[in-house]
Structure 1
Amino acid sequence: MPRKSSKPRGAAAHGPVGLTPAPRPALKAGPPNPSPAAAVAEAEGRKGPDAGAAAAAEALERLHVGPAPDGDPPPALEPEPEPEAPAPSQPPPVEASSSGWSAAGGSLEEEAVRKLHELAEADGEEVALTEEEAQANDQRQEDEICALEAIFGDAVVILDRKGGQRCFQVHVHIEIPDSIDVSTRLSYGDGTLKYGATSDADDDDLVYKFKVEHLPPILLRCLMPASYPSHRPPFFTISTYWLDKGMVSSLCRMLDTLWQEQQGMEVTYQWVQWLQSSSLSHLGFGNEIVLSKNDVTCDTDKRACLDDGSPDVIIPRMMRYNETKHHEAFLHAIHDCMICFSECPGVDFVKLPCHHFFCWKCMQTYCKINVKEGNVVKLLCPDTKCEGAVPPNVLKRLLGEDEFERWEGLLLQRTLDAMSDVVYCPRCQTACLEDVDNEAVCSNCLFSFCTLCTNRRHIGEQCMSPQERLLILEKRQQSGRLQADQQRRIFEELKSLKEIMKDCKQCPKCKMAISKTEGCNKMECWNCKEYFCYQCNRAITGYEHFQGSCVLFPQEEIDRWEMQMNPRVQRQVVAQAHAEMYGRHGQPHLCPTCRQPSPKVGNNNHLFCWACQKHFCALCHKPVPKPAQHYGPKGCKQHTADP
C-alpha cells in the first residue's frame, strides 16, 4: 500500500485542494471555461474562406466543455473542505498525476510498480553485495527518501517496500516565470480536433495560444535496487501528458547522464532538482511552450509513459490545473477588500466569476440590502466598472433562506413582467402564456380569457377599446354589479393602461413601458438595459442614428436648457412674452430693424430688441446707437408715460 510521509512542510501539508477554513467558508466562483479570447487566445485562420478552418474554430470553442479525464474539477462556489487527518492504513489524497494516475492507491499504482519491476528484471541479475555493502546501501536509501520527504513534502509518495526494494513517486513542479505562453497548431478532421502540421507554411491550420502561471507536474517514479547507490542507478519512469514522446525520452537520457556524472552517489534529489529548474531549457523552450503531436518515427524510450491524448483534452486539463493552483495561491495570500479596505486572508473572501473579490461581510451586506429593496436587476459585481452578475450559488450562501426565496421570487416576477406574452389570470393571478389571438388559458383554474379585457374570450367578436371598457365599468359601478375591490382594481388598471399608452413608449426588446421626463432621445431601458430612440422607438447602439431624421435633443428641451444656463436668453424670452402681452393690449413697440415687438419697461423709452440685439426709441421708433446724444433737450425724452 502506498505511504505518505507525515512530516509537515508549511502550506504544502494541506494538500492541493483544501485549506483549513476560517470561520466562514471561502467561496470561489469556479473558473469559467475561458474562451480563446479570455485565455489570451490567438487564432490565425485561412487566407480564404474554408469550411475546415471554420469547423476548427468551432471545435476550439468547445475545448473547455468536456469533463476532465482525471475526474471532474471541484464544484464551483463550494467552500474549501477542511482536510481530515488520514488513518495510518489509508493513503491520503494528493494531486492528480500528470498521466492521470492518482496516489490514492489502486490498480494504476500497482501497474506502475509492476512496470518498474519489469524494468529491473530486464536489466539482468542483481549485483552480488557483501552484507556490509547491502546494509550501507539500505541506510543510504532510507536517508535519501527521508530527505526527499522533508524537502518536497506531499509531492513524495511511497508506493511499495516489498522485497527490500523501495518504490516511490515524486510530483515535480516545474519552475517558470510569472507566466508563460503555451501554443499549438490545430487542424480539424474526421469530426475531432487534432494537432496540425509543425510547418508554418500550412495555412489550413489554426494557431491557438494561451497563458499559464502553473504547468502540470512531471511524475517521476523510481525503484531503488539493493545495489543502489553503490553500483546501479534507480530504475525510473517519467509520466506526463503535455510533452510528446521525443521530449520525454530526451529527459530520460538526461537523467542517465546525471547518474553517469556522479556514479556511486545518491542521485534522485539531483534528478528532481534538474527536472524542476532545467527541463524546459533542455527541451528548447524559452518564453513559449509549443505542444505538438507524437512523432511515430522517433525512437521512444521505454521509460517514457505518456497519455496520447488529443488537444481538446490536453488543453482544458492544463487550463484547469492552472486555475486550481491559482486559486490555492489566492487562498494562501492576504488581500485588501475594495469596499471596506480591510486586510483578510483569501479564505474570508468571495471571488466572483469576473475575478473581482470582496470580503464576506461586505458582500453579505451588499446582497442583503439589494434584495431587501427589490433591486434584483442591480445585483451585480460591486466594482463600478464591472457588469458581471453575482451567481445564484454565491447568493444562496450569502443570504438567509428567507432572503434567498425572496430574491428568487422577485427575479421570477421581474422576468415574467418583462415577457410580452405573459399575462395573469384574472381569477387566481397565475401566470399564463398569451397566444397570437390575444387569448390565454389558465393552467391552474382552466379559465379561458381574453388578454385585452380579461373577460371570457369572445370568439368572433371584436374586443372593446379601453374607453368602451371604462364606460361599462362606470355603468356597473352605478348599478352596483361589481364588488368594491374588483371594481377599483379593474378601473385603476384600465386607467393606468390608458395613461401608459398615451405618454410612454415600449422598449423594442422587452416591451417594458418607458416614459421620458427630460433629456435627450437616446433612452436606456431600466429592465433589459437596451438602448433605443425615443422619437422613432427603434433599438440603437451609438449616436450615429441621430444623424438622420431623428434628433438627439428636441427643440423644446434645448430652449429649456438655454433658459436655465443663459440668463440673457431668459431675459429675451421674458421680453418676448411681455411684447406679446403689450401687443394684445394695443401698444406694440416694433423694432425698426427686425420688426419684432419689444416691451416698454415702466416709462423708459429706451428699448432693447430681444431678437436682433439693437437699441431703439419707443417714441420715434428709430435706432439709438448712442443714448446720450439721442435723448436730451433737443431730442426725445427718455422717460414718458404711454398715451
Structure 2
Amino acid sequence: MIADMVEQEDELLALHSIFGSEEFVRDESKSAGEIRVSVELPADFTVVLKEGETLRQYEISFLPPLLLTFELPEDYPSSSPPSFTLTCSWLTHTQLTALGAQLTDLYQATGGAVVLFSWVQFLKEDALRFLDIHTLLELPSDEQSTQYYSQDSLNAALSEPNNNQHTPKSEPSDNQSCNVSDPSTSDWTSTDLQGAVALDSCKANQKNSPFDHSKVQLDQSGQGAASLPIHPRESPQNEDQTLSGLSLTPSQTLLSQLLIYDAAQNRKAFATTVFDCGVCFMGWLGSVCVQLPECGHIFCQTCLAQFCKLQITEGNVQGVICPQADCTATPTPAQVKSLVGEELFSRYDRLLLQNTLDCMPDVTYCPRRSCGSAVIQEKSSTAAMCSVCGFAFCVTCRKTYHGADDCQGKQNTNKLTEKDSQQARIDLPQSQEGIQALLDDYARGSKQRQQLLESRYGRKILQVTVEECLSEDWMAFNSKNCPHCFCRIQKDGGCNMMMCSRCRQRFCWACLTRLPTKRAGTHFVDSPCSIYQYHPT
C-alpha cells in the first residue's frame, strides 16, 4: 500500500512537470485530477455536416481536447486501474466507450505499472486511427435524433436507461445509466469504479467543485456527444448566451463550437510563431504581425501601419493594399482601423466612399455648401432632389430647379461668349506663352495698368476666359486620360509604366495601351514604346 502511494505521488508530480496548467489540473485533496488531451490532426483534416441535401465541410487544424478526469484508488497501480471519466464534444458515446475499453486494456497490458502518461499518449497520437478516423470527421445529423427528441420538445425526458457499458475484463459488469431531464444539461454517469469508461458530466455551474465538466448532448442516434470542455476557471454562461439568440440545431451548434475553437487556436499558434516581415525582412513574433486574409502575406505592424498612414495622408486610399509587389489584396477595415487609429481611419473611410461615388456615373452632389451630400440622378431628367436637405436642383446648372426652361447659367455663358468673343479674337495672344504673360501682367500690374488692359481686352475676358484657356491648355499639355476610367492623370517623373490611382489600371504612358497585371513589362520589349523616355536638357 505504501509503495502504491509513493508511485501515485511520483506519477502526479511527473504529470505536473510535463504538462502545463492548461492541460493538467490536480485535485490536491486526493489523488485525482483532470487532463486535457489535444489529438494530433493530419494535414487537410475536414469536418463534415450533412443536413438533407446540404453538405457543409470545413478544413480545420485543431479539435477541442478530450477531457480525461481520473481518481486513483488506494491499490493503484499494483491491483486496480484508475477510475476515470472520458468526455469529448465531437465523439459519440459509442466511440468514447471504445476508447475507454482500450484504455483499460492498456492498463491490463502494463501488469500493474503506472499508466496515465501512456493513456495520454494514446489519446493524443492514436485515438483517431483507433476509431478509423483519418482525414474526415462526419458529425451526426439532426434527422437521426427524432426517435429521442425533437426541436419542438427539447425538454422531453428519457426514462429508459442506455444499456451501453464497459467493464474491465477481470471485473463484474456494471450497467451505465442515463438520466436525462433536459438534453442541454443531460449527464452520462457510470458507477463502475474499476476503470470502465464513464461519460460523466457534472453541472458546469456547480459550486464548490474543483473541476467543471462539459455537458453532454444527445446526438441523433441516442449516443452521447459532449460539448466543448470548459476550463475550470472559466464559466460557460457567456458561451451559452452567445448562441442563445441564434436558431441553431444541436449539430449546427456543435459545428460552430468546433470552428470557433479552431479559429482561436490558430490565432494562438500564429501569435507564438516567428515570421519574416515582407517590408523590413526582419523576424517578428506573430503577436506583433498582421496577416492579410486575401493573400496571406504577413508584415509587422510597424511597417504596415506606416505604409497605410502614408497612403491615407496623401489621399491615395486606393493605394491601401498589400505592400507585396504585384499584389492587389486589401486589408480588412478592422485591420486598417487598428493600424492607423481612429482619426486617420475616419479620413480613409470618407475618402474611400468619395472615391467610390466619383466612379459612379449616376451620382451628383447637392450644390448647397452646407450640405454637399451625394444624390442619385435619373438619366431621363435633369432634376434631382437631395435626400438630406430636400433641395431640388438642376444637375446641369447646379441651381434651383427651373422646370423645362433653359438653364440661366448656360444663357449667361452663351451671352458672354457671343458678346466678347469678337474682341477676344482681335487682340488676345495666340500662344500659351503670350496668354500667360498677359495674365501675369494683369495680376502684377498697378491699378492704372489693370484698367488699361481691361479697357483693351475686357474685364470678363481677363478674369474668366484667359484663366480657363490657360487651365485647359495646361491640362491638355501635362496630363492624359486613363484608358480605362478616363480620369485625368499627370506624369511628373519615372518610367512610362503607369497605374491609375482611381481604378488601379496599368497602362503605357506613351501609347495609352492597357497593360496586364502580370508581366506588364513585356509591352516595352517588342514595341516602339520605351520603358524610359529621356528628355535632354
State the match for 1:431 in structure 2.
Answer: 373
Structure 1: how far apart are the matches of 2:334 and 2:385? 34
Residue 149 of structure 1, CA deviation? 1.5
Kept in 2, the 8 Å contact 1:426–1:454? The answer is no
* 2:15 aligned partner, one-letter code: L
Structure number with bigger Rg: 1
* 1:293 aligned partner, one-letter code: P
Structure 1: how far apart are the matches of 2:308 and 2:117? 52
Please point out which of 278, 281, 286 is paired with 1:341.
Answer: 281
Kept in 2, the 8 Å contact 1:504–1:515? The answer is yes
How many residues matched?
Answer: 368
Query: Does 2:528 align with 1:527?
Result: no
Structure 2: how far apart are the matches of 1:476 and 1:146? 103
Residue 418 of structure 1, CA deviation? 2.8
Structure 1: how far apart are the matches of 2:49 and 2:297? 33
Query: Does 2:189 align with 1:246?
Result: no
State the match for 2:37 in structure 1.
Answer: 172
Post-superposition Cα deviations, 1:46-97, rounded to whole Å, max 9, x if no partner, equal xxxxxxxxxxxxxxxxxxxxxxxxxxxxxxxxxxxxxxxxxxxxxxxxxxxx
- Secondary structure class of the residue paired with 2:128: helix
Kept in 1, the 8 Å contact 2:38–2:63? The answer is yes
Query: Does 2:347 align with 1:406?
Result: yes
* 1:182 aligned partner, one-letter code: T
- Secondary structure class of the residue paired with 1:171: strand
Residue 280 of structure 1, CA deviation? 1.7
Residue 403 of structure 1, CA deviation? 3.4
Within 5 Å, give how 1:508-523 maps onto structure 2.
513-514=486-487
Structure 1: how far apart are the matches of 2:302 and 2:418? 58
Structure 2: how far apart are the matches of 1:281 and 1:400? 49
- Kindly tell me: are residues 442 and 214 of structure 1, through their superposed partners in 2, closer, same or farther at Cα, counting changes over 3 Å? closer
Please point out which of 441, 444, 451 is paired with 2:395.
Answer: 451
- Secondary structure class of the residue paired with 2:319: coil
Residue 377 of structure 1, CA deviation? 0.9
- Secondary structure class of the residue paired with 1:220: strand
Structure 1: how far apart are the matches of 2:49 and 2:336? 41
Please point out which of 277, 288, 291 is paired with 2:138.
Answer: 291
- Secondary structure class of the residue paired with 2:68: strand
| TM-score, normalization by structure 1 | 0.48
Query: Does 2:109 align with 1:261?
Result: yes
- Secondary structure class of the residue paired with 1:175: coil
- Secondary structure class of the residue paired with 2:21: helix
Structure 2: how far apart are the matches of 1:256 and 1:431? 74
Residue 514 of structure 1, CA deviation? 4.0
- Kindly tell me: are residues 269 and 461 of structure 1, through their superposed partners in 2, closer, same or farther at Cα, counting changes over 3 Å? same
Post-superposition Cα deviations, 1:197-239, rounded to whole Å, max 9, x if no partner, equal xxxxxxx674x55433333321111233444334432222222
Residue 524 of structure 1, CA deviation? 9.5
Structure 2: how far apart are the matches of 1:331 and 1:492? 58
Query: Does 2:363 align with 1:421?
Result: yes
Residue 455 of structure 1, CA deviation? 1.1
State the match for 2:266 in structure 1.
Answer: 326
State the match for 1:112 in structure 2.
Answer: none
Structure 2: how far apart are the matches of 1:268 and 1:365? 52
Residue 137 of structure 1, CA deviation? 4.5
Structure 2: how far apart are the matches of 1:151 and 1:564? 66
Query: Does 2:305 align with 1:364?
Result: yes
Post-superposition Cα deviations, 1:221-273, rounded to whole Å, max 9, x if no partner, equal 12334443344322222222222222211101111212222354322222112
State the match for 1:304 in structure 2.
Answer: 199
Kept in 1, the 8 Å contact 2:318–2:504? The answer is no
- Secondary structure class of the residue paired with 1:386: coil
Query: Does 2:325 align with 1:384?
Result: yes
- Kindly tell me: are residues 427 and 279 of structure 1, through their superposed partners in 2, closer, same or farther at Cα, counting changes over 3 Å? closer
State the match for 1:276 in structure 2.
Answer: 124
Structure 1: how far apart are the matches of 2:9 and 2:292? 47
Query: Greater relative contact order (Cα 8 A, min sep 6): structure 1 or 2?
Result: 1
Within 5 Å, give how 1:12-51 maps onto structure 2.
none
Residue 459 of structure 1, CA deviation? 2.4
Residue 337 of structure 1, CA deviation? 1.6
Kept in 2, the 8 Å contact 1:170–1:219? The answer is yes
Post-superposition Cα deviations, 1:275-305, rounded to whole Å, max 9, x if no partner, equal 112212211234x233242888996445236
Kept in 2, the 8 Å contact 1:148–1:156? The answer is no
Kept in 2, the 8 Å contact 1:380–1:388? The answer is yes
Structure 2: how far apart are the matches of 1:211 and 1:260? 37
- Kindly tell me: are residues 149 and 475 of structure 1, through their superposed partners in 2, closer, same or farther at Cα, counting changes over 3 Å? farther
Query: Does 2:182 align with 1:182?
Result: no
- Kindly tell me: are residues 281 and 255 of structure 1, through their superposed partners in 2, closer, same or farther at Cα, counting changes over 3 Å? same
Structure 2: how far apart are the matches of 1:432 and 1:389? 25
* 2:414 aligned partner, one-letter code: L
Kept in 2, the 8 Å contact 1:524–1:530? The answer is yes
Kept in 2, the 8 Å contact 1:441–1:447? The answer is yes
Post-superposition Cα deviations, 1:551-604, rounded to whole Å, max 9, x if no partner, equal xxxxxxxxxx77999xxxxxxxxxxxxxxxxxxxxxxxxxxxxxxxxxxxxxxx
- Kindly tell me: are residues 432 and 155 of structure 1, through their superposed partners in 2, closer, same or farther at Cα, counting changes over 3 Å? closer
Query: Does 2:92 align with 1:237?
Result: no
- Secondary structure class of the residue paired with 1:399: helix
* 2:68 aligned partner, one-letter code: L
Kept in 1, the 8 Å contact 2:499–2:505? The answer is yes
| TM-score, normalization by structure 2 | 0.57
Kept in 2, the 8 Å contact 1:172–1:220? The answer is yes
* 2:48 aligned partner, one-letter code: T
- Secondary structure class of the residue paired with 1:228: coil
- Kindly tell me: are residues 445 and 465 of structure 1, through their superposed partners in 2, closer, same or farther at Cα, counting changes over 3 Å? closer
State the match for 1:211 in structure 2.
Answer: 59
* 1:433 aligned partner, one-letter code: V
- Kindly tell me: are residues 268 and 405 of structure 1, through their superposed partners in 2, closer, same or farther at Cα, counting changes over 3 Å? same
Residue 165 of structure 1, CA deviation? 3.8
Kept in 2, the 8 Å contact 1:505–1:513? The answer is yes
Structure 2: how far apart are the matches of 1:563 and 1:331? 48
Please point out which of 140, 148, 151 is paired with 2:18.
Answer: 151
- Kindly tell me: are residues 291 and 258 of structure 1, through their superposed partners in 2, closer, same or farther at Cα, counting changes over 3 Å? same
- Secondary structure class of the residue paired with 1:387: coil
Post-superposition Cα deviations, 1:293-344, rounded to whole Å, max 9, x if no partner, equal 2888996445236443755344443344333333333322222222222222
Structure 2 gaps, min length 5:
148-161, 166-175, 177-197, 201-215, 220-248, 421-453, 491-497, 507-513, 517-526, 532-537
Kept in 2, the 8 Å contact 1:242–1:291? The answer is no
Structure 2: how far apart are the matches of 1:299 and 1:184? 29
* 1:334 aligned partner, one-letter code: V
* 1:141 aligned partner, one-letter code: Q
- Secondary structure class of the residue paired with 1:366: helix
